[in-house]
């Protein structure tokens, strides 16, 4: 019994260990969040439930501008496959060579981002409305910059450590 408890505890702790974004430092092309999202960006996304079943699709158009204070403002317009339209406006501040802080109206407190090489790890809590109830879901975004200005974003959604689903977005820069 004791060895089974130890094995289960080991598996739980290993599952909680995060990926160290620093391991991607030498990867190219180098990802500069401000540079990538300035101007027009388009993304095509899907939402998967906890079993991997497709639940929604969307296209997001982003207009990114650096304001006079040096913050990146990302104005995102979502067009969902079911006809819903939604908007999010991010204010992102670069805090150092590798770190960013972001805020948006539906983000609880702030988002924390770390970039190394071609990878950005971005963590935040998002207030999601569903059938009259607001859920505060943990979002764990990983963005991977590819050649030709393609950016792949994989997000896991969880609550109390339980996996609720994923969002996958492929971004492309028009004319870059």
pLDDT by residue (tens digit) across 24-74? 999 999 999 999 999 999 999 999 999 999 999 999 999 999 999 999 999
Residue 5 pLDDT > 50, yes or no?
Answer: no
Residue 147 within any structural domain of the chain:
yes
The CATH number that applies at residue 145 is 2.40.128.20
What is the distance between the alpha carbons of residues 98 and 114, in angstroms, rounded to a whole number?
Answer: 5
Q: pTM for the complete prediction?
A: 0.87
Q: Which residues contact 72 (CB under 8 A, 6 or more apart)?
A: 33, 34, 37, 38, 64, 65, 66, 90, 91, 92, 93, 94
Residue 68 within any structural domain of the chain:
yes
Report percent pLDDT > 70 for the chain: 89
What is the distance between the alpha carbons of residues 21 and 26, in angstroms, rounded to a whole number?
Answer: 11
Segments forming the whole domain that contains residue 41: 20-173
What is the distance between the alpha carbons of residues 77 and 67, in angstroms, rounded to a whole number?
Answer: 19
Q: What pLDDT, on a 0 to 100 scale, did the predictor assign at position 85?
A: 97
Per DSSP, the residues of 76-97 read EEEEETTS-EEEEEEEEEE-SS
The answer to whether residues 82 and 76 touch, using CB atoms and an 8 Å cutoff, is no
What is the distance between the alpha carbons of residues 111 and 124, in angstroms, rounded to a whole number?
Answer: 4
pLDDT tens, position by position, 108-129: 999 999 999 999 999 999 999 8
Q: What pLDDT, on a 0 to 100 scale, did the predictor assign at position 130?
A: 79
Q: Specify the number of domains making up the chain.
A: 1
Residue 31 within any structural domain of the chain:
yes
């Amino acid at each position: 019994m004791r060895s089974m408890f130890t094995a289960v505890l080991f598996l739980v702790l290993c599952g909680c260990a995060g990926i160290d974004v620093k391991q991607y430092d030498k990867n190219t092309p180098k990802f500069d969040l401000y540079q990538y999202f300035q101007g027009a960006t388009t993304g095509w996304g899907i939402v998967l439930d906890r079993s991997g079943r497709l639940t929604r699709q969307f296209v997001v158009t982003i207009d990114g501008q650096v304001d006079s204070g040096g913050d990146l403002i990302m104005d995102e317009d979502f067009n969902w496959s079911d006809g819903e339209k939604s908007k999010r406006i991010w204010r992102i501040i670069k805090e150092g060579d590798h770190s960013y802080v972001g805020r948006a109206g539906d983000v609880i407190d702030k988002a924390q981002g770390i970039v190394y090489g071609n990878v950005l790890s971005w963590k935040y809590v998002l207030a999601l409305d569903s059938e009259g109830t607001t859920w505060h879901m943990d979002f764990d975004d990983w963005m991977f910059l590819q050649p030709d200005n393609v950016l792949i974003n994989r997000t896991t959604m969880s609550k109390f450590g339980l996996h609720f689903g994923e969002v996958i977005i492929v971004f492309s820069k028009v004319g870059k």
